[in-house]
Amino acid sequence: MGLLSEGNPLSWEKTKQLAEHVREHGIIQFINLYHKLKDRQGDVLKWGDEIEYMIVKFDDLNKKATLALRGQELLKTLNEKEAIHSESVKSVWNPEYASYMLEATPGKPYGGLLAHFNIVEANMRYRLGCGVFTTPPSYPTPGDGASRSLFIPDEVIYGGHPRFKTLTRNIRLRRGEKVAINLPVYRDDRTMSPFKDDLKALGDDGSSEEAAKPDHVYMDAMAFGMGCCCLQLTFQACNINEARTLYDQLTPLCPIMLALTAASPIHRGVLTDVDCRWSVISGAVDCRTREERGLEPLKNHRFVIPKSRYDSIDSYLSIQGDP
C-alpha cells in the first residue's frame, strides 16, 4: 500500500478540473527530482516484504467462517504496541483496501547480505500469528454508495482513511460505469452451459447484465482485486542506475514468480480457468472510459489507452536499454 497522508479527498468532478495541472506539475516535479538525485551515491541496499492478511471469524459450532470487519479496531491496538516498543518492534502494521484486511511489513528493512534471507520466513511466521460473508453482517447496495456492487458491501472498504472509498467511487465515475471483470469459468462434465448468473435477482439495473460475459465469472467492484491479499517486495537501491538495472532485471522474473506462486483459482465461489489475480486486480481499477477503451469514437478524450493503468510495463529503464 502506498503512502497514506491525512487530508480531504476531492470529488471526481473537482479532481477532473485539476487533472491537467497535476499532470503538468507532476512531470516537472519528477524531472527536478531526477536531476537532483541522478548522481547520488552510497545508499545502502535495503528491501522488505509486505504481506496482506484477511481477518476471519470462525464459527466452530455451525462450521462457518466469515470475514471480520475489524481492521480499523485491531490496527489501533497494533499501532499502540508499535509506539511503545518502536526500537525493537518486529513488525509494522498498516491499513489496506478492505476493512477485513491488514498489511504488515518487517519492523526494519533487510539488507544486502545473504544472511538476511535466513530471517525472512521467520519474520513472516511471526506476523501470521495464525450469503453474508462478513462479521458484523453487511449487505451490498447496488443503487448507492462508493462501489454500487451487486456482491460487495461498502462496509468491506476500510473506513479509517478516505482514500479507499474515494478511489472506488472516482474510478467508477471516471470510467462512466462500474468496473467489469470477467474470468473464464473452468469447465468440466458438470459445468452448466451456458454458465451465467441471475444478476437481476441481485438488484441489477441491466448494466451488469450487459457487462457480464457468458461462461465467465463476473465481478463488478474494486474489492475483488484490491481485496485479495498478496506478497510484495520493495527495494531501495544504492543509486538510480542500480535501481533502473534492478527494475529491468525484475521484468522477466516477475511473471515467472507470479506463475510459480499462483494460488487464486476460485473467485466468487466458482472455480475459474485462471490461477492468479493479475487480470482481476488490473480490471478492478480500470478507470478508462468507453472512448479510451476504443468502444466509442474519441470525442471527449485524446487517446485510446490500450490497457488499465495497473498493468504490465511498456519499456525497460536501464542505461543498457537506452537507444
Question: Within this chain, do residues 214 and 133 fall inside the same structural domain, yes or no?
Answer: no
Q: Which of 179, 190, 193, 183 is nearest to 216 (CA)?
A: 183
Same-domain check for residues 294 and 198: yes
Q: What is the pLDDT along the chain (323 residues), one digit of tens a residue?
A: 666 677 788 898 999 999 999 999 999 999 999 999 999 999 999 999 999 999 999 999 999 999 999 999 999 999 998 888 888 888 999 999 999 999 999 999 999 889 999 899 888 888 877 678 888 889 999 999 999 999 999 999 999 999 999 999 999 999 999 999 999 999 988 888 889 889 998 999 999 999 999 999 999 999 999 988 888 889 999 999 999 999 999 999 999 999 998 989 999 889 999 999 899 999 999 999 999 999 999 999 999 999 998 899 999 999 887 76
Q: Does residue 93 sit in the same domain as residue 143?
A: no
Distances (CA, A) of 258 to 12, 200, 223, 231, 235: 33, 36, 20, 10, 18
Whether residue 195 lies inside any domain: the answer is yes
- Give the C-alpha separation, 288 to 298, whole Å: 12
For the chain, how many structural domains are there in total? Answer: 2
Identify the pLDDT of residue 130: 61
154 occurs within a structural domain:
yes
CA–CA distance, 298 with 23 (Å, rounded to integer): 21
What's the confidence (pLDDT) of residue 193?
Answer: 86
Answer yes or no: do 271 and 145 share one domain.
yes
d(CA 295, CA 304): 9
Range of the domain at 290: 139-228+264-322
pLDDT at 73: 94
